[in-house]
Structure 1
Amino acid sequence: MEDKSLNPQKFFKTACYFEGSLILVALFLGWIADINPFADLHFSENAILYGLLGTLPLFVLFVAMQQLQIESVQRVRKLLLETLGPAMHGYGWADLFVLAAIAGLSEEVLFRGVLQPWMEAGWGMNAGLLFSNIIFGLVHAVTPLYAALATLVGIYLGVFLDYGGERNLLTPVIIHTLYDFLAFLVIMRAYKAGKEEK
């Protein structure tokens, strides 16, 4: 049977370009809503600390879910292994970190830098947090469970936008980047282990 897996080099470049293009979407929507997507992105030692600490629960949950023998969870795990495994196989940790950083920055600028404050302005803090992250979940809807989990992760990131009493986009950017990076490493390790068993 012919190998239908994605060309790793093409996938990696396409993923970087696609994720990076979300910044242009954020700028356009920000222009419409009169919101500067980068207004709340600034350096802060507290934001970095909260970002590092905030990554831990998400990553622990991700690793724990890898062990669950629930069919819907295993379906998500298999999907990630079958799509990301072959596409990212052969890339080093630095490449995976670059992709995670692009995704972390661009998705946070779009969802927490524009959509969340835009919806908060019209509907209030709680509704803005909820509905902006329902959109976040729908954008990640590769399976119904994955969409639900992405919505919850989005809400988590949205809460961290204001964590410590200071609205700073840097905190969710760090959490998103580190979480994606660590998840990529776990997926690559599982994929390589699966290849060695065959």
Structure 2
Amino acid sequence: MSSNAALLFQGAIGVIGLVAILLFGIPVLHVGPGLWPSIFLGTVGAALTYAALLLLTRVPGLFPENLERQMQGLYDFASSYSPAVLILLSLLAGVGEELLFRGAIQGWLITKTDPVTAVLAASVLFGLVHYVSFTYFLVATGLGMVLGAAYLLSESLALVMVWHALYDMIALFCLLRFPRWFGVRVVNSGANRPHE
């Protein structure tokens, strides 16, 4: 997928979320504790969530299948883009996906059901949209539940946007900088070229 198509896709998710919020009059909780506390808490949340997930992947047998294949695919995808594009993709994913899944879907479900059902349903949908394998679905659903609970408790969509965007940035940076942590094989195409 070209960088323009990837950026357009992530941007479109946010537009869909925003249109749904406006069209259906879904109440959105903007900045709960305030903008700066939301940014700070989102940053801390992203770092702690990523660290916890990294530790959980080290527990033998915890996940029903090996994540190495998914990490290899993600590495191949991410390594085809420039750092600027990856940062933009992370920002658009943080803003757009949170507008759609926490703002629109979870927000609408809260008006129709109870908060726990809303968080669970929005999280499962989030996991399904990120489905690459059953394990990846579980990880994405778990992250969705963490973000959904954070949104519910903080009443700050800004907080979960920051959390999600920084989580993606940290995950991509670690994957590209330390691929062997994830069992990723890096093929150096320059090493196969004959010396001149």
Instruction: Give me the TM-score of the superposition, normalised by structure 1.
Output: 0.80
Which of 33, 51, 54 matches 1:60? 51
Which of 12, 30, 34 matches 1:41? 30
Q: What is the identity, as a one-letter code, of the residue corresponding to 1:174? A: V
Q: Distance in 1 between matches of 2:51 and 2:62?
A: 20
Provide the alpha-carbon RMSD of the alignment. Answer: 2.7
Indicate the structure with greater helix content: 1
> 3-state DSSP class of the match of 2:155?
coil
**Which has the larger displacement, 18-27 or 56-65?**
56-65
What is the match of residue 13 of structure 2? 22
Check if 1:134 corresponds to 2:124.
yes
Which of 4, 12, 18 matches 1:13? 4
Q: Distance in 2 between matches of 1:16 and 1:46?
A: 28
Contact 1:81 1:187 in 2 (8 A): no
Unaligned runs of 5+ in 2: none
Deviations 1:66-108 (A, max 9, x none): 54554957633322323x3233326443332111001110000
Q: Report matched runs for 1:82-161 at 5 Å.
A: 82=73, 84-89=74-79, 91-161=81-151
What is the match of residue 4 of structure 1? none
> 3-state DSSP class of the match of 1:195?
coil
Q: Distance in 2 between matches of 1:126 and 1:68?
A: 28
What is the match of residue 179 of structure 1? 167
Contact 1:112 1:161 in 2 (8 A): yes
Q: What is the identity, as a one-letter code, of the residue corresponding to 2:30? A: L
Check if 1:170 corresponds to 2:161.
no
Q: What is the identity, as a one-letter code, of the residue corresponding to 1:55? A: A
Cα 1:146–1:86, aligned 2, differ >3 Å: closer, same or farther? closer
> 3-state DSSP class of the match of 2:148?
helix
Q: Distance in 2 between matches of 1:90 and 1:132?
A: 31
> 3-state DSSP class of the match of 2:66?
helix
Which of 77, 81, 87 matches 2:72? 81
Unaligned runs of 5+ in 1: 1-6
Per-residue deviation at 1:32? 4.4
Instruction: Give me the TM-score of the superposition, normalised by structure 2.
Output: 0.80
Q: What is the identity, as a one-letter code, of the residue corresponding to 2:172? A: F
Q: What is the identity, as a one-letter code, of the residue corresponding to 2:105? A: L
Check if 1:188 corresponds to 2:179.
no
**Which has the larger displacement, 105-114 or 186-195?**
186-195
Per-residue deviation at 1:25? 1.6
Q: Distance in 1 between matches of 2:132 and 2:138?
A: 10
Report % sequence identity. Answer: 23
**Which has the larger displacement, 173-182 or 60-69?**
60-69
